[in-house]
Amino acid sequence: MLNISLQQKMMMKLSPQQVQYLKMLQLPTLALEQKIKAELEMNPLLEEGMDEEAELTQETKEETPEEADAKTEDEGYTLDDFMNDESSGYKAKDSYDNEERDEMPLADTVPLYHRLREQFNLLGLDDQEYLIGEEIIGNVDEDGYLRRDLSAIVQDLNLVHGSEITEEKAEGVLKQIQLLDPVGIASRSLQECLIVQLEAMPMDGVVKERALRILKEFFSEFTMRHFEDLAKKLNITLDDLKAVIETIQHLNPKPGEGEFAQHENYVVPDFIVTQSDDDFIINLNDRNIPPLRINKKYKELMSKRKKDGVPTEAKDFIRQRFEAAKWFISSIHQRRETMIKVMRCIVDKQREYFATGEGLKPMIYKDIAEVISMDISTISRVVNSKFVQTDYGVFSLRHFFSDSISTTDGEEISNKEVKKKLRALIDKEDPLRPLSDHKLGELLNAQGLNIARRTVAKYREAMLIPVARLRRKLT
């Protein structure tokens, strides 16, 4: 039996324009540049440049109100004040023309895979060995390790090429690859990686011999930093052991690390905050973002009547593209205003930090949202993946947000300030007898902070600082 019912609901839905604005708000500067380039390619009505303000002003002066009204009626489609607004471009013409938009040239880099292949091709190997080497190099990960089992590689090669490659032959090829630059590449474990590098080092003597013995026989004791046990097993003093440990620590645990393009090695700040007397100047770093406008020819074409020979379908397409271009430019304006507003509020709440580089105060997204009357999700979108350049360095916007820790005086202090105090204690500890989390908690409490041992452990792990046992060093 079919039942028909009627329900009434209240729902909130975002318009496509609002969705576009929120997406653009989340984009950092470099991503916004790419977004604009893509939009310029897709929308023929959108182009770089400022509106001819002088021409528009002159036309406005020459026309009477009656002529202007008649012209509007003749056009049949009003472009509203948006097209004639002096801010319809993205930024002032003078400021844009005076800026240089040239990008710094970057040197080209050869990927690790190609560098290994170039070296491997010079080894003069036979066809089978070349086939093995190609497969091994192709399975090296970004850290420089061979994560795939060598027997599986041999099995696949024999199955696909109908060959009879032995694991012994594959092992021999692997050993040759591991001696390519960087040495230790394609190792299957950290232990193997360090041994390969140490054996290839142009040094002889008792230090190298002891280091190899530690890596081959006592690797577990070495990773656990049981220095006293190592000294006893090698029958040497701690001073002699120190030279051996230093030799091992100079080896590279990740031979493939650092293979990135130069443009990935620096951060482009989205904001630049500079101090001027008792105030701060906030600039949005948008010098490479071009001003945008509606193409004048398409605008005129959209205003023509049917008798001018412009098909209705073409006019509809142009109107759709016009609306998309208008909302795209509007979204960029909204993004800019929102970002400046949020950054200004952050600076106002963290004035001491921006002025001195110290004294970060507890602050959460809600604190900013309440001041500027925006939703917390909007603040989150602004903060996400954004950076600010200050007089004391470049920081992620998330750096300025933190929870609070109470002091014995009843005051609130940022947990980031607590982490600084924690790191200072660890930096000053005896390297042979590092402080435990419990002892660190006691020292912080002695400084007036109410902090538990588990909180100390959480902060230490967040700062990627190992436990006391793994911080031991031979002085």
Give yes or no on whether 112-249 and 405-475 have one common fold: yes
Domain positions in the chain are 15-56+76-100+265-401, 112-249, 405-475
Q: Phi/psi of residue 376, each to 5°?
A: -60, -35
Cβ proximity of 474 and 247 under 8 Å: no
pLDDT tens per residue across all 475 residues of the chain:
677 878 777 766 667 777 888 888 888 988 899 999 999 999 888 888 776 553 444 444 444 444 544 443 443 434 344 334 433 344 433 444 444 444 555 555 678 888 999 999 999 899 999 999 999 999 999 899 998 999 999 999 999 888 899 999 999 999 999 999 999 999 999 999 999 999 999 887 899 999 999 999 999 999 999 999 999 999 999 999 999 999 999 999 999 875 544 445 578 899 999 998 888 999 999 888 888 888 888 777 766 655 566 677 877 888 888 888 889 999 999 999 999 999 999 999 999 999 998 888 999 999 999 999 999 999 999 998 899 999 999 999 999 998 888 887 778 888 888 999 999 999 999 988 999 999 999 999 999 988 999 999 999 998 989 999 888 887 7
In CATH, the architecture of 112-249 is: Orthogonal Bundle (1.10)
Cβ proximity of 186 and 146 under 8 Å: yes
Report strand pairing: 271-276 vs 387-390.
parallel
Task: Report CA torsion sign: 439, 443, 444, 448.
Answer: positive
Look up residue 288 and give its DSSP letter.
T
Q: DSSP characters for 411-456?
A: -EEEHHHHHHHHHHHHHHS-TTSPPPHHHHHHHHHHTTB---HHHH
- Tokens (6 digits) for 104: 């710094």
Q: Which CATH number fits domain 405-475: 1.10.10.60, 3.40.50.2300, 3.40.710.10, 3.40.50.720?
A: 1.10.10.60
What are all long-range contacts of 280-284, with beta carbons under 8 Å and residues at least 24 apart? 280/347, 280/351, 280/354, 282/340, 282/343, 282/344, 282/347, 284/336, 284/339, 284/340
User: pTM for this structure?
Assistant: 0.61
